[in-house]
Amino acid sequence: MDKSSGDEIWEDSFDKLLDPRPQQSNLNIIKKNVRLSYNIDTSVENSSHSIKGCSPKSCNRSVSISTPNYNHLGKDLFNCGLSPINRLQLDGFEDTTEKCNADKDAEPNTKKRGLIVPSKNQIDTFSKFSNQTNKVACASNQSNKIVGVVLKPGKWRKSLNIFRQTQISVLNESKKLESRNSVCQDRKSIFLNGLNKQNVISQQDFYKYCNQGKPLKFNAAYSQYKMLKTHKIGEGAYGEVFRYTPNRKGCKNDLVLKIIPIEGSIEVNGEKQKNFSQIWPEIIITKKLSSIQGFANIEKVSTVKGKYPQHFVKLWKRYDDEKGSENDHPGLFGENQLFVVLELHFAGSDMSNVIFLNSEQSFYALQQIILTLAVGEEDYQFEHRDLHWGNILIKSTTKKHICFKFNNTDLIVDSKGVNITIIDYTLSRITIDECCYFNDLSNDEELFQASGDYQFDIYRMMRNELKEYH
Ligand SMILES: Nc1ncnc2c1ncn2[C@@H]1O[C@H](COP(=O)(O)OP(=O)(O)OP(=O)(O)O)[C@@H](O)[C@H]1O
């Protein structure tokens, strides 16, 4: 933020409190439509609120704000410190983020993204890869020569993975990289029971868990007439996500389907398909956390078989035309393909696409995130381990308060009109009755290589903190 700017840089009066400079604090002017920050007891709701993107009916523009007051939670409850960031260079690549930022022709957003640049002798062969540029975001100079792969903060692994696969002969790195690639090709969902590593879940056990004897027919289980207003809303390295309104009475919530291909031999989105054992931890974690405020609410998990239904393919194409998909066309799946389908409650837009109305709203969203994690950790030693802003969803709510149960104590937080949900437990870890379910990240070098954004530094900082732990 430009410290020399005038008072108009402040979005609201609470922002001033975040800045220690006395002249700003002293200003503390009552602005038009904004209430004074100090000495307001927010146990009394005194704000109106909205978040960008919600309908004008349910959301008014803010006419006043109040100061967050977290006495009821105990002031020292969440005391944390951040370590300084260490940027590591990607093995075999030159980190030229700074250089590229200085380049006038470079894409203006590169500062905010992880930039991985091949050395000179890699660039020529890299050009052959240019027909893949719609799959992997690339920075280019004026002569259209590709100078690097830009990883966006948030969901970046898919891009890096596709780049690695295409470039693996070019990189011609040490054995280390080759084994790293084979590691990244084979996802490492591991189920631990005490000290014994076991891949435990059989196909039949998995079906039983889904209350099925065998896989359902994809087309019949999710036929078009059961779903209203269906559209694709997101995608990940492992699957597609569609939102719809169930065509049945009494169902109040919109649902989303996370459709994950499984057990097949063809690679999808640059990844080997997971098997039942590998997806098991994510299912267990999702189910277990479902009842905790702030985690994704799951309605059902099922296994289906068959070609991708045409109505989903159409929606996939529409998304691809409008937004561009990084994923493979789902037409590639055959009759025998299995999918695991998670039916989750729709939980809003991810934080990277939401603009908070004011800092107060973001403060209370942060409190919700912290409390959600605190409860998950207390109840199940839960660690998310990939909590970037793409994995935090935000939805508007008319509820005034959000209630958490931490260690049998009720904790109540003002909603200020927003409800957060933490999603995507692919890398998470949980302990239930002394069994620990997690993905073993210790050999997953790729996860720790990107640079250029704080998100990528965090992965390394956490590994340094944890050392020998997975
Ligand atoms: N419950 C939900 N409500 C609304 N949107 C959702 C929900 N679950 C997932 N999404 C959307 O789908 C996207 C992909 O979901 P998710 O992160 O779970 O998939 P993934 O394949 O595990 O991703 P990754 O590649 O990060 O592992 C999310 O970024 C989000 O936009």
pLDDT digits (tens, 9 = 90+) for 192-202: 443 334 456 88
Task: For the beta carbon of residue 107, count every other beta carbon within 10 angstroms.
Answer: 18
Dihedral of the CA atoms 139, 144, 147, 153 (nearest 10)? Answer: 10
Closest CA to 239 of 269, 206, 215: 269
| Candidate from 63-77, 152-166, 364-378, 390-404 with smallest mean pLDDT | 63-77
Query: For residue 239, how far is its CA from the centre of ligand 1 (angstroms)?
Result: 9
- Start-to-end CA distance of the chain, whole Å, equals 38
Q: Which of 187, 233, 262, 395 to mutate to test the pocket of ligand 1 (most atoms within 8 A of CB)?
A: 233
Q: For the chain, give the number of residues.
A: 470
Q: Is pLDDT above 80 for 85? A: no
- Supply φ then ψ for residue 442, to 5 degrees: -65, -30
Residue whose C-alpha is closest to residue 440's, from 408, 468, 421: 468
Determine the pLDDT at residue 263.
96
Question: Relative to the CA of 344, which ligand 1 atom is closest?
Answer: 1
Query: Could you give the CA distance from residue 114 to residue 453 in angstroms, rounded to a whole number?
Result: 5
- The answer on whether 300 is annotated among ligand-binding residues is no
pLDDT at 31: 36
- Of 155, 113, 119, 102, nearest to 138 (Cα)? 113
Atom of ligand 1 nearest to the CA of 297: 1
Name the residue of 258, 298, 354, 426 whose CB sits within 8 Å of the most ligand 1 atoms, as the mutation to test its pocket: 258
Question: 241-269, pLDDT tens digit by residue?
Answer: 999 999 988 777 899 999 999 999 999 98
- pLDDT the model gives residue 157: 65
Query: In three state form, how does the secondary structure of the chain look?
Result: CCCCCCHHHCCCHHHHHHCCCHHHHHHCCCCCCCCCCCCCCCCCCCCCCCECCCCCCCCCCCCCCCCCCCHHHCCCCCCCCCCCCCCCCCCCEECCHHHHHHCCCCCHHHHHCEEEEECHHHHHHHHHHHHHCCCCCEEECCCCCEEEEEECCCCCHHHHHHHHHHHHHHHCCCHHHHHHHHHHHCCCEEEEECCEEECCCCHHHHHHHCCCCCCEEHHHHCCHHHEEEEEEEEECCCCEEEEEEECCCCCCCCEEEEEEEECCCCCECCECCECHHHHHHHHHHHHHHCCCCCECCEEEEEEEECCCCHHHHHHHHHHHHHHCCCCCCHHHCCCCCEEEEEEEECCCEEHHHCCECCHHHHHHHHHHHHHHHHHHHHHHCCECCCCCHHHEEEEECCCCEEEEEECCEEEEEECCCEEEEECCCCCCEEEECCEEEEECCCCCHHHHCCCCCHHHHHHHHHHHHHCCCC
Which atom number of ligand 1 is nearest to the Cα of residue 386?
26
pLDDT tens by residue, 52-76: 433 333 333 333 333 334 444 544 4
* Catalytic-residue membership of 386: yes
Yes or no: say if 215 and 285 are a contact pair by the CB < 8 Å rule: no
Residues 52 and 362: beta-carbon distance below 8 Å: no
Q: Provide the strand spans (E) within 106-224.
A: 114-118, 138-140, 146-151, 189-193, 196-198, 216-217
> Ligand 1 centre and the CA of 25: distance in Å?
41
For residues 429 and 436, is the Cβ–Cβ distance under 8 A?
yes
Distance 32 CA to ligand 1 centre (A): 40
Q: Tell me which DSSP letter residue 422 carries.
A: E
CB 438 within 8 A of CB 69: no
Tell me the CA–centroid distance for residue 257 and ligand 1, in Å: 10
User: Scanning the structure block, which residue is given the tokens 């898919």?
Assistant: 158
Of the pLDDT bands very low, low, confident and very high (cuts 50, 70, 90), residue 466 is confident
- pLDDT over 60 at 87, yes or no: no
- Residues in contact with ligand 1 (CB, 6 Å cut-off): 155, 158, 233-239, 241, 256, 258, 296, 344, 346-347, 350, 390-391, 393, 423-424, 426
Q: Whose CA is nearest to atom 30 of ligand 1?
A: 234
pLDDT: which is higher, 290 or 131: 290
Q: Work out the pLDDT band at 407, boundaries 50, 70, 90.
A: very high
Enter the pTM of the model.
0.68
Q: Between 178 and 406, where is the model more confident?
A: 406
- Summarised one tens digit per residue, pLDDT across range 114-127 is 444 444 444 444 44
In the set 12, 95, 350, 386, the catalytic residue is 386
CA atoms within 13 A on the CB side of 335: 0
DSSP β-bridge partners for residue 189 = 439
Q: Whose CA is nearest to atom 13 of ligand 1?
A: 234
Mean pLDDT taken over the chain: 71
- Which atom of ligand 1 lies nearest, measured to the CA of 282? 22
Q: What pLDDT is stored for residue 70 in this prediction?
A: 43
Q: Point out the least confidently predicted range of 104-113, 303-312, 423-432.
A: 104-113
What pLDDT, in 10s, does the model give residues 289-343? 999 999 999 999 999 999 999 999 999 999 999 999 989 999 999 999 999 999 9
Considering only CA atoms, which of 96, 113, 31, 95 is closest in space to residue 65? 31
Helix (H) or strand (E) holding 360: helix 359-380
Centre of ligand 1 to C-alpha 153, Å, is 15
Radius of gyration for the chain, computed over Cα atoms and rounded to the nearest angstrom: 24
